[in-house]
Structure 1
């Protein structure tokens, strides 16, 4: 495990999962929302984002959390040796977007740029939820089915599987000393 792509629908806890995975493995964490957006929520020019993304892909070890853009998504998944697809039931994603919206006024959401506009970003997340579920999630599922023969694939489908994932990773590290 040297290059890990963590992806899935909005509000699935990808940033929290990625942060903990980075702590367990020692792999450097790159959060795409913090690369794609300036503090305060203004978008970074797309060419700058693509350049930074490409620079990360060329490094030896990384965890990349998030979507970014369609243009960078598939090359990232191709480059990764490990895929973590967070595919919780839609109602869980919806609830966690709502929870993040409410708590975001008191504590910045994990993985968001500093001073992100909570209301605007949350409304965007609600719009993305159904679109991702309907159009992108099936493509993710198809991709990981094909990738299982040559990549480590973790398809997380429930909240319980999140903790099982960390137990599995910790056991692999303990038994193989892969960090």
Structure 2
């Protein structure tokens, strides 16, 4: 486990899990939001993003948390030796986005891009959650299973499983 892709729908706990995983494994964490956005909250140009993403995925070890542009998502899945798909129930994802929004009124969430609005980001997460069943579904799981012959594929379906996974890794 040296190249780890952590992904799932918004509000699935990817960032929290990835930070803990990075601390336990001493593998450098790269959160996609910090690669996609400039310090002022604007999107980086696609060429810059692709170059940074390629540099990370071709390095010896990494944890990348997030989704990003679809083509880079599939490149990341190909480059990874470990795929961690956090597939929590929708009600939990909506709750986690809401919790982040409410906390974000007082304190910017850790790892949140500078200059980026927590309110706008949360509404974008709600919108993506509404659209998520079109992508995060049984077809995706089948593709992951089909294309992970030489990889470790871990599908997490509850917060308890997330906690257990961290315990198993330590």
When normalised by structure 1's length, the TM-score is 0.90
Give 3-state SS (helix, strand or coil) of 2:27's partner.
coil
Give 3-state SS (helix, strand or coil) of 2:110's partner.
coil
* Partners of 2:137 and 2:60 in 1: CA distance: 28
Q: Which residue of 2 aligns with 1:6?
A: 6
* Partners of 1:16 and 1:32 in 2: CA distance: 13
Deviant stretches of 4+, over 3 Å:
136-140
When normalised by structure 2's length, the TM-score is 0.94
Is the 8 Å Cα contact of residues 9 and 137 (structure 1) preserved in structure 2?
A: no
Is the 8 Å Cα contact of residues 50 and 72 (structure 1) preserved in structure 2?
A: yes
Q: Which residue of 1 aligns with 2:101?
A: 101
Equivalenced residue count is 170
Structure 1 position 44, deviation (Å)? 0.7
Q: Which residue of 2 aligns with 1:115?
A: 115
Q: Which residue of 2 aligns with 1:175?
A: none
In structure 1, stretches of 5+ residues that fail to align are 171-179
Give 3-state SS (helix, strand or coil) of 1:88's partner.
coil
Structure 1 position 114, deviation (Å)? 2.2
Q: Deviations over 1:81-110 (max 9, x none)?
A: 001100000110011011111111222223
